[in-house]
């Protein structure tokens, strides 16, 4: 890897602490998910980007899109959150698709979005439940579901049982809602960035190294020798500046260090392992994909599906002759699940459920544990209300971790400079990471190469407000 040596930073922008854009720059992006890849893409497309002056290295611990970016649903909505970037990002998705043939390259298309209330049909298979402490992902800010609005299903939403569907309400039409295939989209952004000069390296980052910039700071040995770089461990010292990144090469296992004056930390739920004090939590989410027996119409649906609960009460005897059992039997038990169902253009339906915190975040994305029971529950819910899905083939079962600012809520993300000079944070996007990646990447590219963000007002997302 041929990296240019670090240039001396002469003058920093008073507003951002970032070096002037005309200088030689070694930019390192940590994280090969959608945020890191779109950041690399927009840096290489920025008018000020000069390959003779600027090096861009993207470091990924496992593989591109190995985490949530390769396992998400891919819903895009201008009505999502945060409002200061979601509309811009929705429009940028359309521009990217038009410029790079996103329809073919990553399944971009406009879709309708609705809310479906349903009850299992008589033909539904015996329910399979996952006894976990589930948490809402916070994607759809629901209204009062206790009194669903009765409505006939749209004519083209014909892949659900008319008997099972009890109510339907449209949330948004194609003017404000679209979708992509996240794995394909993330890999395309990485490829396009690589074609313009981004160096993609597979290796696990162990340290972000800093020096002290204060002229009055103590030196090593009491002489004029500057203190040696040290791993970032806190924000306690206000005069830190990034100088390099240390990582373990995936192929060789060798420890290596890359000099860098600008580091973009976009490591999703793994961000706190490198930046202590960042209030990002990890929320595990499961999903399955089903190939139906025929192509289905383009809808993304939020659902409430009521199923019969056939599981015995916990710690209760199975003796059905007791008075208590007879009384319980007279009132059938039900259970409600809330999966999201997204029809994709490749004759595939993506289904995801609530999140959980049952398993701690593993060291890397390829070590995520998948619960068979959680996936079976999603298949059960879909099969209970759709003949096409019941008779289809399950083509994938997966789990990933979402980076949430507050578990089950909708806070974040954090985008911008930190109190460490040269360190930019872009993480905490929760369930809207795929949507908001283009706006995040564009904003970070402007911050680095222009010295300020011009495409959006990110004041409410400034990391320095909470770190």
For residue 129, what pLDDT is reported? 44
Give the distance from CA 219 to its chain's centroid.
42
For residue 283, what pLDDT is reported? 95
The answer to whether 266 touches 40, Cβ cutoff 8 Å, is no
Span 12-64, pLDDT tens digits: 444 445 555 468 999 999 999 999 999 999 999 999 999 999 999 999 999 99
C-beta neighbour count of 63 within 10 angstroms: 15
- Full-model pTM: 0.87
Burial label for 442, CB within 10 Å (0-12, 13-18, 19+), is buried
Rg (CA), the chain: 25
Answer whether the bond into residue 82 is a cis peptide, omega within 30°: yes
φ, ψ of residue 342 in degrees (nearest 5): -120, 115
For residue 215, what pLDDT is reported? 56
For residue 286, what pLDDT is reported? 97
Span 270-285, pLDDT tens digits: 999 999 889 999 999 9
For residue 236, what pLDDT is reported? 72
**For residue 198, which of 264, 254, 153, 255 has the smallest C-alpha distance?**
264
The DSSP symbol for 114 reads E
Blockwise average pLDDT, block size 10, the chain, 467 residues: 37 47 87 98 98 97 98 97 96 98 98 96 52 50 48 88 92 98 98 98 97 64 67 82 97 98 98 92 96 96 90 54 55 85 97 94 97 95 94 96 71 92 96 97 98 96 90
For residue 327, what pLDDT is reported? 53
For residue 145, what pLDDT is reported? 44
């Amino acid at each position: 890897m041929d990296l240019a040596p670090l240039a001396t930073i002469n003058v920093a922008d008073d507003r951002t602490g970032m070096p002037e854009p005309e200088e030689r720059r070694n930019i390192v992006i940590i994280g090969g998910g959608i945020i890191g890849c779109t950041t690399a893409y927009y840096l290489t497309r920025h008018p000020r980007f000069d390959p003779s002056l600027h090096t861009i290295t993207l470091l990924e611990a496992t593989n591109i899109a190995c985490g949530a970016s390769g396992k998400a649903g891919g819903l895009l909505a201008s009505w999502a959150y945060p409002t200061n970037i979601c509309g811009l990002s929705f429009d940028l998705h359309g521009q990217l698709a038009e410029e790079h043939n996103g329809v073919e390259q990553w399944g971009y298309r406009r879709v309708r979005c609705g809310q479906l209330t349903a009850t299992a049909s008589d033909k539904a298979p015996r329910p399979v439940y996952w006894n976990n402490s589930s948490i809402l992902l916070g994607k759809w800010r629901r209204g009062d579901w206790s009194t669903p609005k009765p409505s006939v299903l749209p004519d083209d939403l014909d892949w659900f049982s008319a008997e099972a569907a009890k109510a339907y309400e449209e949330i948004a039409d194609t003017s404000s809602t679209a979708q992509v295939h996240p794995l394909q989209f993330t890999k395309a952004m990485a490829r396009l960035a690589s074609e313009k000069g981004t160096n993609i390296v597979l290796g696990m980052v162990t340290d972000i190294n800093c020096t002290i910039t204060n002229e009055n700071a103590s030196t090593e040995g009491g002489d004029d020798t500057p203190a040696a770089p040290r791993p970032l461990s806190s924000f306690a010292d206000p005069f830190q500046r990034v100088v390099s990144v240390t990582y373990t090469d995936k192929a060789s296992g060798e420890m290596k260090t890359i000099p860098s004056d600008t580091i973009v930390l976009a490591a999703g739920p793994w961000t706190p392992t490198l930046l202590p004090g960042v209030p990002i939590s990890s929320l595990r989410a499961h999903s399955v994909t089903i190939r139906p027996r025929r192509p289905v119409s383009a809808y993304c649906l939020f659902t409430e599906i009521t199923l019969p609960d056939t599981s015995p009460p916990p710690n209760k005897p199975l003796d059905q002759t007791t008075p208590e059992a007879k009384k319980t039997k007279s009132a059938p038990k039900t259970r409600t699940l809330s999966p999201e169902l997204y029809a994709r253009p490749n004759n595939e339906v993506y289904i995801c459920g609530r999140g959980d915190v049952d398993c701690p975040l593993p060291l890397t994305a390829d070590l995520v544990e998948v619960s068979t029971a959680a996936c079976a529950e999603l298949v059960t819910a879909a099969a209970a209300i759709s003949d096409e899905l019941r008779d289809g083939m399950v083509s994938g079962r997966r789990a990933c971790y979402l980076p949430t600012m507050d578990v089950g809520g909708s806070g974040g993300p954090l985008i911008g400079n930190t109190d460490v000079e040269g360190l930019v944070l872009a993480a905490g996007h929760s369930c809207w990471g795929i949507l908001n990646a283009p706006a995040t990447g564009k904003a970070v590219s402007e911050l680095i190469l222009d010295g300020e963000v011009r495409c959006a007002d990110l004041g409410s997302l400034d990391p320095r407000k909470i770190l």
